[in-house]
Amino acid sequence: MTIRALVRGAALFCVALLGQMVAFVALIGVLASAVLGMVFLFPPVVRLLRRTTRLSRRLSHAWSGVEIDEPYLPEPGPPVPLSDGWYRDGRSLYRTPRIPAFNRRMNWLLKDSATWRDFGFLWADMWAGGLLAGAPAILVALGVFQLAGGNPIGLLWPVLALGAARWYAPWAVHAHGVIARVMLGPTEKARLAQQVSRLARARTDVVDSQAAELRRIERDLHDGAQARLVAVGMTIGAAEELMESDPVAAKALLAKARDASSTALRELRQLVRGIHPPVLAERGLADAIRALALDTPLRTRVTVELPGRLDAPLESAAYFAVSELLTNAVRHSGATEAWIDISSQGTKLRITVTDDGHGGADASHGTGLAGIERRLGAFDGVLALNSPMGGPTTAVIELPRALQTVRGRPPVTWRTVTMGICWSLCWIPIFPQGFVAMILKLVGIEEKSWFLALHLPEPFQWPTIIGMILLGAGMLATAATLSAQQRKDKDLACA
């Protein structure tokens, strides 16, 4: 565990060094675009920035356990031609969409704050998270350098690094991920833009699915109940004509009409149940799922832990999603048992459906699972499917804001004070008391000024400089961690 954390910390420091070089190249590209008019360089520079920061996000998720969502605004769509075939961009008209598309993309890249936050992160990562995570490797390298120069104090640094690595290295790797999340995470504007884009796509899918559902209902009514009711009317008419001449035949026709009307009523009830089951409206999601489990041929166990009723559209979406999953288990997987677990976490509703079938389910094939994703997408919900060949199949449905509960915000006074102190003072030990003193020490300038380490005896100067840098990095990591926690609490309170 410690060795792995040390290796990861050194790798994060190397990635931070790579980010410095990428940031320098990006700076040249931006200056060439702005000063020399070489605007064609700006899009590839931004792509290089985003690929580098994506690497940092992936490493933060894989090594630190800190997940960082993409912060970028949705990409603009292609230009739409006018009725005469020309393309408008501002007050100019173009015959081809090439220039309007380029201008749209340039505006998207320039006005997206995440572009400049990526640029700032690559400059700052070396002196914040990268230095924090790579401190043990830096101390070892410093010790080797001093030992090679004949200074025996160099033996102190590897011993110090390895002695503190057991608790420091894992914490530093996690702190690097937290700092990356603060600097690379999406802003509220980006979150809203991404949500609007998702909801726009979901709205289109829902409108299409509703139109298909209406066509299905119309077809079922036309081919089923309506045809039977017409046949009932014709049978009753024939019975009226035979009532006096052949009462026995008329009675048989009336019995046939009664059976047909019963069949039509049963079909209408099934149709209504397919639109919105009465038990769902009267008893809620929990009892509706239990009733669904009783109707399925599988041996189904249902576990429900819900604090109360959901909104009717959410209940309907969750019910039909579970119904479709059970139907797939019956028709395609050869399952004999199924388990349904419904639970809540804060405002999040989670439904897990598991069967013991042969697996192999894929949302990209067929329309059933894709229909569930479209139905859930209207509520910002997701469907996660795990169905290896040989089974079992596990489907997890999450609706993030299904349970709208009011939560009080916990006291954050001590966090606010600590964050204020750390954010405002962390630069003092990092730069003037740390790196500036280090440069003066390495260059050999005798100016001591207000640099604390340079006023101490020679054996204590390097430990004080390194300690100041670590102190500042620790204050920065603490401030970033508390800021992320405060933002998480705020999101939960607003949800």
Q: pLDDT tens digits, residue range 75-100?
A: 887 888 888 888 888 778 888 888 88
Non-local CB neighbours of 80 within 8 Å, separated by 6+ positions:
87
CA dist., res. 206 & res. 183, Å (int)? 36
The percent of residues above 70 in pLDDT, for the chain, comes to: 87
Q: Is the pLDDT of residue 287 over 70?
A: yes
Structure letter (DSSP) for residue 276: S
The confidence band for 365, taking pLDDT boundaries of 50, 70 and 90, is low
| Rounded Cα gap, residues 368 and 56, in angstroms | 37
The CA–CA distances, whole Å, from 332 to 99, 108, 116, 360 equal: 51, 45, 50, 9
Residue 472 reports pLDDT greater than 50: yes
Residue 213 has pLDDT above 70, yes or no: no
Cα 412 from chain centre: 26
Q: Which of 257, 158, 157 is nearest to 466 (CA)?
A: 157
Q: What is the mean pLDDT of the chain?
A: 79
Lowest mean pLDDT of 23-37, 324-338, 438-452, name the range.
438-452
User: With pLDDT > 90 as the criterion, what percentage of the chain qualifies?
Assistant: 2
Confidence bin at 411 (pLDDT 50/70/90): very low
Instruction: Tell me the sheet residues that pair with 294.
Output: none
The pLDDT value given to residue 209? 62
Does residue 200 carry a pLDDT above 60? yes
Least reliable range by pLDDT among 72-86, 205-219, 295-309, 369-383: 205-219
Least confident of 242-256, 258-272, 305-319, 373-387: 258-272
* Tokens found for residue 234: 């014709």
The structure tokens listed for 495 are: 């949800």
Residues for the chain: how many in total? 495
Q: Tell me which long-range contacts 200-208 makes (C-beta under 8 A, separation of at least 24).
A: 201/377, 202/374, 202/377, 202/378, 202/380, 203/378, 205/374, 205/377, 205/378, 206/374, 206/375, 206/377, 206/378, 208/374
Q: Which one, of 462, 476, 492, 385, lies nearest residue 429 by Cα?
A: 476
Per-residue pLDDT of 113-142, as tens digits, reads: 888 888 888 888 877 777 778 878 877 777
What is the structure's pLDDT at 274? Answer: 60
- Predicted local distance difference test score (pLDDT) of residue 408: 37
Secondary element (H or E) of residue 318 = helix 312-328
Pairing status of strand 348-355 against strand 337-345? antiparallel
Amino acid 50 reads R
- Regarding predicted confidence, which is higher, 258 or 25? 25
Measured between alpha carbons, how far is residue 174 from residues 64, 149, 168, 254, 478 in Å? 5, 34, 10, 79, 11
Q: What is the pLDDT of residue 256?
A: 83
Going by the DSSP 8-state scheme, the letter that residue 96 receives in this structure is S
Average confidence (pLDDT) over 349-360: 87
The counts of H helices and E strands in the chain are: 18, 7
At 406 the pLDDT is: 31
End-to-end CA distance of the chain: 37
What three-state secondary structure class fits 244? Answer: coil
Which amino acid, residue 52? Answer: T
Q: What is the pLDDT of residue 340?
A: 92
Identify whether the C-beta of residue 65 lies closer than 8 Å to the C-beta of residue 177: yes
Q: Kindly report, residue by residue over 458-471, the tens digit of the pLDDT.
A: 888 888 888 888 88
Do 329 and 366 form a contact (C-beta atoms < 8 A)?
A: no
Residue 407 pLDDT > 60: no
What residue spans of 363-457 are helical by DSSP H? 368-377, 413-425, 427-430, 437-443
Please report which residue ranges of 152-284 form alpha helices under DSSP H.
156-184, 188-220, 226-242, 247-275, 278-283
What average pLDDT does the segment 313-317 reach? 82
- CA–CA separation, 178 vs 480, rounded Å? 6
Query: Quick one: average pLDDT of 479-494?
Result: 68
Beta-sheet pairing, 348-355 with 87-89: unpaired
Query: Edge-to-edge strand order for the sheet containing 382-386?
Result: 299-304, 337-345, 348-355, 393-399, 382-386
The answer to whether 322 touches 340, Cβ cutoff 8 Å, is yes
**Mean pLDDT for the stretch of residues 339-367:** 81
3-state secondary structure of 235: helix
Whether 405 has a pLDDT exceeding 50, the answer reads no
pLDDT computed for residue 205 by the predictor: 63
240 in Cβ contact with 257 (< 8 Å): no
Per the CB < 8 A criterion, the answer to whether 298 and 338 are in contact is yes
Give me the mean pLDDT over the 424-429 stretch. 78
